[in-house]
Amino acid sequence: MPLQKRQQWGELAVHFFDALKDGDKAAFSLDVIWSTDFNDLKCPAYIFEGLAWLEARLRRKQVDILPEQVKLGEPK
């Protein structure tokens, strides 16, 4: 059942648990991404901080690896 049809957090939590337990991770991920409420989802602080850390590291690596015109978004 798609996320937008869930009315209660408990029902949604059971759906998450069942989807991940049964190995239906791809369908679960697509349900989350394509949900009409996707932009309203709140990421736990520790995940947000971890993703911000990872983004910063990847941006530093990008500066070291990619040619200047690619970094600036300019065509070759």
- Contact residues for 23 (Cβ-Cβ < 8 A; gap 6+): none
Are both 14 and 36 inside the same structural domain? Answer: yes
CB 35 within 8 A of CB 3: yes
Residues 61, 70: Cα–Cα separation, whole Å: 13
* Boundaries of domain holding 63: 42-76
At residue 3, the pLDDT reads 54
pLDDT at 52 over 70: yes
What's the structural domain count of the chain?
2
Are both 3 and 24 inside the same structural domain? Answer: yes
Are both 3 and 36 inside the same structural domain? Answer: yes
- Is the whole model's pTM more than 0.85, yes or no? no
pLDDT at 67 over 80: no
Are both 2 and 23 inside the same structural domain? Answer: yes
Alpha-carbon distances of 9 from 4, 13, 26, 32, 69, rounded to whole Å:
12, 6, 21, 14, 47
Are both 13 and 48 inside the same structural domain? Answer: no
pLDDT at 11 over 80: no
Are both 24 and 36 inside the same structural domain? Answer: yes
The runs of H, that is alpha helices, within 22-74 are: 25-33, 45-65, 68-71
Are both 35 and 1 inside the same structural domain? Answer: yes
Are both 6 and 30 inside the same structural domain? Answer: yes
Are both 47 and 27 inside the same structural domain? Answer: no
At residue 49, the pLDDT reads 94
Segment among 17-26, 38-47, 48-57, 66-75 with least mean pLDDT: 66-75
